[in-house]
Structures are given as C-alpha cells and as structure tokens.
C-alpha cells in the first residue's frame, strides 16, 4: 500500500503502458463495471431491494463503497485495486437495479436504453473537454464539491421536511457530474500510465458516470 492517494502519484512502481494500452485498460475496466451492473439488474428483483430496511441498506452501501474506495485509492497493486473497484460496483449496481425497477410500466419502454445512450454521449463529450481543458476542470473542482454537498443537503432536508421534488436539483447534479467526468479524465491522463492507475481512474470515472446515469434516468422518466 502507498501512503499517497492515487491521483497524487508522480512516479510509478509498476510497468508503464502506452497511451493506447492505458486507455484500453480504463475502457475495459469501465466495461466490466457496467456489465456487472447489467447482471445485477437482471438477477436481483427491485422489489427485494425495496424490502430491505432503508437504514440497513444505506449502511451496507456506504460500508462496501467506502471500503472499495479506500482499497483502490491507496493500493498500487492492480489485483487489490480491482477488488476495491468491484466493492464499489456491487452497491452501485444494487442502486441501479432499484432505479431501473421503477420504470417497468409499458409507457417507459426504451427509457433505459435512451438514458444509456444519452449518458454515453455526454460522457464522451466531457472526456474530450477534459483532455482539451484539464486546467479549467482543475480550477472548478472545489466549486463542484461544494455544490454537490449543498445539493445533497437541500435534497435531504427538503425531502424529509418539506416534500420537495428533485426536478431542479436533478439538473444541477447532472451538471456537477459532467464537471467531475472532465476533471477525473484529466487527472487520469496526468498520472503515470500503469495498469493500477488505469483501474483506479476507471473506478473514479465509473462513480461519476453511474451518478450521471441515475439522474438522467429520473429526468427522462419524468418526461414520459
């Protein structure tokens, strides 16, 4: 284990990859995460997940996800980082299963595919912008973090005490995670191009993309 976080690394203890191989490793790692989510959605009924006590589910989610983040963020070993990545994929996959399970009515036919396509287009666009303007995304990341925390607090307080809907905040969160995709892609290309760093970078991007997907699903679902 290293003492420094993955995106602070300026030197490598592993073999350097070519840019093409590095990007391929990121893509394959992301692909595995999305495929695992697909398997979870198919195998786990949303009704069974909704039957779990919400507090128990949230505690399990954060314990698993945070444990995974710690592993991939601190490890310089690809196998350990991949284990951490999967610990993140599992709870997020369950959340995706719960979200997708809300749209089984025939009027939502094609909604999930439309959301996947939209998420893909937005992700590619933000990665391109992250490659072209990495310094810009580096400058705004502090504001993105503050905005995300503020939105979460507004949603929690508004939902619990005032019954507010998530219409406006969904769009704000979409914009925030668009920024995070550009930022994390820029960071991914600023660190040594090793297999371990590719897995770590994919893990960070995975969380950005899944959060973007979940919000877009809700936005597009309301239009139906």
Q: Rounded distance, CA 223 to CA 1, Å?
A: 47
Q: Rounded distance, CA 131 to CA 183, Å?
A: 9
| Tokens representing residue 43 in the block | 């195998």
pLDDT at 41 over 60: yes
- SS3 of 14, please? coil
Domains of the chain, by residue range, sit at: 6-223
Q: Which helix or strand (DSSP H or E) is residue 154 part of?
A: helix 134-157
| Residues with Cβ within 8 Å of residue 149, at least 6 apart in sequence | none
108-133 per-position pLDDT tens digit = 999 999 999 999 999 999 999 999 99
Task: Pick 209 or 11 by higher pLDDT.
Answer: 209
187-224 per-position pLDDT tens digit = 999 999 999 999 999 999 999 999 999 999 999 999 87
pLDDT at 33 over 50: yes
Q: What is the pLDDT of residue 2?
A: 39
φ/ψ (deg, to 5) at 64: -70, -50
Q: What pTM does this model have?
A: 0.93
pLDDT at 166 over 80: no
Q: How confident is the model at residue 94 (pLDDT cuts 50, 70, 90)?
A: very high
Q: How high is the mean pLDDT of the chain?
A: 93
Q: How confident is the model at residue 1 (pLDDT cuts 50, 70, 90)?
A: very low
pLDDT at 51 over 70: yes
């Amino acid at each position: 284990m290293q003492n420094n976080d993955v995106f602070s690394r300026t030197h490598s203890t592993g073999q350097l990859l070519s840019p093409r191989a590095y990007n391929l490793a990121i893509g394959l790692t992301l692909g595995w995460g999305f495929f695992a989510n697909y398997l979870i959605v198919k195998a786990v009924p949303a009704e069974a997940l909704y039957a779990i006590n919400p507090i128990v589910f949230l505690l399990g989610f954060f314990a698993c996800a945070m444990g995974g983040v710690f592993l991939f963020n601190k490890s310089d070993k690809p196998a350990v980082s991949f284990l951490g990545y999967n610990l993140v994929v599992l709870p997020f996959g369950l959340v995706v299963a719960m979200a997708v399970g809300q749209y089984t009515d025939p009027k939502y036919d094609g909604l999930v595919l439309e959301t996947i396509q939209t998420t893909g287009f937005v992700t590619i666009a933000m990665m391109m912008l992250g490659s072209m303007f990495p310094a810009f995304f580096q400058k705004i990341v502090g504001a993105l973090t503050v905005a995300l925390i503020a939105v979460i607090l507004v949603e929690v307080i508004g939902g619990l005490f005032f019954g507010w809907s998530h219409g406006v905040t969904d769009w704000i969160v979409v914009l925030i995670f668009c920024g995070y995709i550009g930022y994390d892609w820029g960071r991914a290309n600023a660190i040594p191009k090793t297999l371990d760093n590719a897995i770590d970078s994919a893990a960070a991007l995975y969380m950005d993309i899944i959060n973007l997907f979940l919000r877009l699903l809700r936005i597009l679902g309301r239009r139906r």
